[in-house]
Amino acid sequence: MSERAAKVTPEEEQDDDQITDSAAPDAATESESTTDADAETTTEPVTSGAEAVVRALENAGVEYAFGVQGGAIMPVYDALYDSDIYHVTMAHEQGAAHAADAYGIVSGEPGVCLATSGPGATNLVTGIADADMDSDPMVALTGQVPTEFVGNDAFQETDTTGVTTPITKDNTFSSDSDRVGSDVSEAFALAREGRPGPTLVDLPKDVTKGETDREPDAPKVPDTYRVQERADPEIVDAAAERIETSNKPVMLLGGGVIKGEASEACREFAIEHEIPVITTMPGIGAFPEDHELSLEMAGMHGTGYANMAITHCDTLIGIGTRFDDRLTGGIETFAPDAEVIHVDIDPAEISKNIHADYPLVGDAETVVEQLADAVDASPEAKKWRAQCQQWKSDYSMAYEAPEDEPVQPEFVVEALDEATSDRAIVTTGVGQHQMWACQYWTYTEPRTWVSSHGLGAMGYGLPSAIGARLAADDDQEVVCIDGDGSFLMTLQGLSVAVRENLDITVAVLNNEYIGMVRQWQDAFFEGRHSASDYHWMPEFDKLAEAFGAAGFRIDDYDDVAETIEEAIAYDGPSVIDVHIDPDANVYPMVPSGGDNGQFALTEDQL
């Protein structure tokens, strides 16, 4: 039913095979470019820096690029004009960065965003910072004023590499037309190798306009960048022994499990040894939430049972997680009785926040396989598993939804889940709706949960749905569960969704509040609703129609199922303005810095 952007030209159809090939992880880009050259007699040698940039993108297998035109980036856009890469013109560069980020999450390959110098580049910053916090592979290309003006406060000049140094995995000011193509290739390799992240290449206009016949080198990381794939076998053995002898083990799967394609290995390991599994928020989808062993998400708004289990376990197997404070709560009370086995590809994550008793540096999939080989006997944890099941029923996520009350948001999330397939992709803004989307949607597959975790950037929902739509398979629905405040921040992206005829459904959980703030004000600021009451919200269904999208509205329970069905069935972008109970709050909740085991189930317990 879902139909992607109407973008396939006959020429592109021929290239389809090649595109799929090159999008595969670890594709040998070198051999591809040779195939390219053989298959496509039309491949002209590059003549300018800008053409070399575009050639580098093509060599890396780029299908889509998201961006906005502008003076300093014009030469690159001019070169894109002749390329098969499909450029999605966004309504704001923040949207371009979020779309590229989501594309990277769903496809596993770096998403590409482009912006001009100065304001274009600074508008990308939120999206780059988001990708950095969540280790999403992304390549940002920014125009820059000509080299001779750099440092003179020229028109639209910003020190982009300076601004983005703290929020990129690596960035480069490209200073040579002969090198610029290779700089972009290298940025690609760096974005996806090891711990993924955003890279940026700043492109002065004279460098992209400049003549060159140098084809870009194949994507390759610099020699100084070394990744350890396999963990130290001695520590693996020691960790295996710890697992075998533990009585209360849990696995904690983070976003690195999904990025490292380790979901399958983790599932097998957990199921074989019957170890209860918790995920972090970025780790959602790494383990099927409908499986008996799943305790779902832990942390500030994690389930009560996940937080009980993480607090009481004796062995914590953390994989691809950085132990963010929203997960751990107060360090002192985090898994206080547990010996910690920590698997991560980034050595700097080991013992950064939580001390690792068994540090296992390496690729998540490889190390889990090492562990699987080393563990001979399953832990004796029958009592523990029974305890976990007991907690599941004690602290069940059941909510009340009386017919006569305003619509409860949990009900809407469940209805959306029911109306879509298992592989549907959910994207969100940031706030209460994001937490309900975590809690009340049952995720079973990796790369189906797309959200702004570490940065928590409102406005992420719609642009990320655009990027996700283009990366997703045709039969995967894309649903954006947004908040009214978050949607308002980037809703100009609707124009893009309409132009590209992207089949996405946005459900705005409209409480006329920036609800998460209101919830905190109720709990910690004596109900003083300073600047959190958004009673001046537009009618989002009508707004959608003004953009050319389909608009729907839900006011009571009777409408929910039917309207959702209609909106999902609509072939193109649709927006449902869901008027929910404005006073609904998110529980359980661990106050920030609190003890995970002391989560509150009601406001009175805060």
Partner 1 sequence: MKRGLEGPSPEERPTPRGRRNKQGIRIDPEVEATYEPRRTVISALVEHEPGVLSDVSGLFSRRQFNIESLTVGPTEDEDLARITIVVEEPDPGIDQVEKQLRKLVPVISVRELEPDAMRRELALIKVNADRPAEVAAVADMYDGETVDSSPETATIEVTGARQKIEAAIDTFSQFGIREISRTGTTALARGTDQTAAPEAAQPADGANQETYTQTANDD
Ligand X SMILES: Cc1ncc(C[n+]2csc(CCOP(=O)(O)OP(=O)(O)O)c2C)c(N)n1
Give yes or no for residue 457 binding ligand X (CB under 6 A): yes
Stretch that binds partner 1, among 11-19, 78-86, 203-211, 579-587 (CB under 8 A): 579-587
Stretch that binds partner 1, among 55-63, 378-386, 479-487, 596-604 (CB under 8 A): 596-604
The whole-angstrom separation of Cα 594 and Cα 332 is: 9
Rounded to a whole number of angstroms, the minimum distance from the CB of residue 573 to partner 1 is 34
144: three-class secondary structure by DSSP: strand
Give helix 93-107 / helix 119-133 axis angle, nearest 10°: 30
Rounded to a whole number of angstroms, the minimum distance from the CB of residue 256 to partner 1 is 15
Give the chain's end-to-end CA distance (angstroms, integer). 46
Give yes or no for residue 430 binding ligand X (CB under 6 A): yes
Instruction: Indicate which single residue of 214, 244, 399, 533 sits in contact with partner 1 (rule: CB under 8 A).
Output: 399
Instruction: Indicate which single residue of 347, 406, 456, 572 sits in contact with partner 1 (rule: CB under 8 A).
Output: 347
The whole-angstrom separation of Cα 344 and Cα 125 is: 27
Catalytic-residue membership of 516: yes
What token pair was written down for 55? Answer: 């050639």
Binding residues among 285-314 for partner 1 as defined by CB under 8 A? 304, 308, 311-312
Rounded to a whole number of angstroms, the minimum distance from the CB of residue 591 to ligand X is 15
Give yes or no for residue 429 binding ligand X (CB under 6 A): yes
Residues 487-516, one symbol each (x = binds ligand X by CB under 6 A, - = not), give ----------------------x-x-xxxx
> Annotated catalytic residue: which of 133, 157, 173, 205?
205
Binder of residue 38, out of partner 1, ligand X, none (CB less than 5 to 8 A by kind): none
Give yes or no for residue 207 binding partner 1 (CB under 8 A): no
Residue 332 buriedness (CB in 10 A; 0-12 / 13-18 / 19+): exposed
Rounded to a whole number of angstroms, the minimum distance from the CB of residue 556 to ligand X is 19
HSE, CB side, 13 Å, CA atoms: give it for residue 601: 12
The whole-angstrom separation of Cα 389 and Cα 309 is: 10
Instruction: Indicate which single residue of 45, 222, 233, 593 sits in contact with partner 1 (rule: CB under 8 A).
Output: 222
Task: Please answer whether residues 311 and 252 qualify as being in contact, where contact means their C-beta atoms are separated by less than 8 angstroms.
Answer: no
**Ordered DSSP codes for 549-577:** SEEEEE-SHHHHHHHHHHHHHSSS-EEEE
How many residues bind partner 1 (CB under 8 A)? The answer is 55
Catalytic-residue membership of 93: yes
The whole-angstrom separation of Cα 263 and Cα 256 is: 9
Give yes or no for residue 394 binding partner 1 (CB under 8 A): yes
The whole-angstrom separation of Cα 502 and Cα 6 is: 9
Contacts of 144 (CB under 8 A, 6+ apart): 72, 117, 150, 157, 160, 173, 202, 203, 204, 205
Catalytic-residue membership of 155: yes
Task: Please answer whether residues 355 and 289 qualify as being in contact, where contact means their C-beta atoms are separated by less than 8 angstroms.
Answer: no
Rounded to a whole number of angstroms, the minimum distance from the CB of residue 487 to partner 1 is 25
Residues 328-367, one symbol each (x = binds ligand X by CB under 6 A, - = not), give ----------------------------------------
Q: Please report where in the chains the tokens 């003006």 appear, as a residue.
A: 149
10: three-class secondary structure by DSSP: helix
> Annotated catalytic residue: which of 90, 516, 537, 589?
516
Instruction: Indicate which single residue of 83, 232, 395, 555 sits in contact with partner 1 (rule: CB under 8 A).
Output: 395
Give yes or no for residue 164 binding partner 1 (CB under 8 A): no
Binder of residue 517, out of partner 1, ligand X, none (CB less than 5 to 8 A by kind): ligand X
Q: Using CA atoms in the order 349, 99, 579, 505, what is the torsion angle rounded to 10 degrees? A: -120
- Interface residues with ligand X (CB under 6 A) are 429-433, 456-459, 483-486, 509, 511, 513-517
Give catalytic residues, as residue numbers: 93, 155-156, 205, 516
